[in-house]
Amino acid sequence: MSDFAGLVAIVTGGASGIGLATAKLLHSRGAEVAVLDLNPDGLPNDLVGIKTDVTDDAMVKSAVDTVVERFGRLDVVVNNAGISAIGDVTGNTDEEWLRVLDVNLIGMVRVARHALPHLRRSPAAAIVNMCSIVAWAGMQKRVLYSASKGAVYALTLAMAADHLGEGIRVNCVAPGSADTPWVNRLLDKTDDPAAERAKLNARQPMGRLVTADEVAYAVAYLASPLSGASVGTILAVDGGVHGLRLRPAEQNSKY
């Protein structure tokens, strides 16, 4: 498939995990792809890496300008950069709250702000924000992270309403628990990583975590010109965690 042929895409946080899977997929389908990341070293040669901190407005503007100067246009923005946090409402300091919101929410605002003048000139402009099912599914010890992703949910809908008339589609993908380096690092910090992974898999309706590639395909669907009628869409890729209520396996076998 070459639905992105001739288009130029930016993927923030694209040096690993879901971001890297997305960048590779978009390139394989014809796009020129620039990865904006704190550490873009080690990327495949066919991806352009630009060191960028999404909390630094000047760096974001410079990175976006560099992409347009190099490729002459900008068509797709994937706002994927983000960090997590663990704890209940008493578990994070004010500094942690400000840091997570700065990266997960305002970082997207900065990237979109500087990308919009270029996207307005594209015949296939699309922004895809990375949300999470915790934006609407209550999960323990995720108050700060959930609040940041709930804001991304609202941001996406408001942006979609604001920019549809300019020909810019805004959507978001909401993954469930994904098998990424970040999750693996969390598991590695536990006393028994293998046991914790088994318990995490057991909580998933499919019996496994979502893969980075599965999320990437959802991002590509929403970003593709072939999905021109998808606007303000919140696409869950969670293996049924939020929408399904399954009986235990031994009960399922009776029906």
Could you tell me how far CA 226 lies from the centroid of its own chain? Answer: 20
CA distance 168 to 75: 9
Which tokens go with 32? 């020129």
CA distance 116 to 127: 10
Query: Are the C-beta atoms of 36 and 27 separated by less than 8 Å?
Result: no
Sign of CA dihedral 52, 14, 7, 219: negative
Check 145, 217, 221, 255 and give the catalytic one: 145
Query: Are the C-beta atoms of 107 and 210 separated by less than 8 Å?
Result: no
Q: What is the DSSP letter of 72?
A: S
Q: Is 221 a catalytic residue?
A: no
Query: Are the C-beta atoms of 52 and 76 separated by less than 8 Å?
Result: no
Active site residues: 145
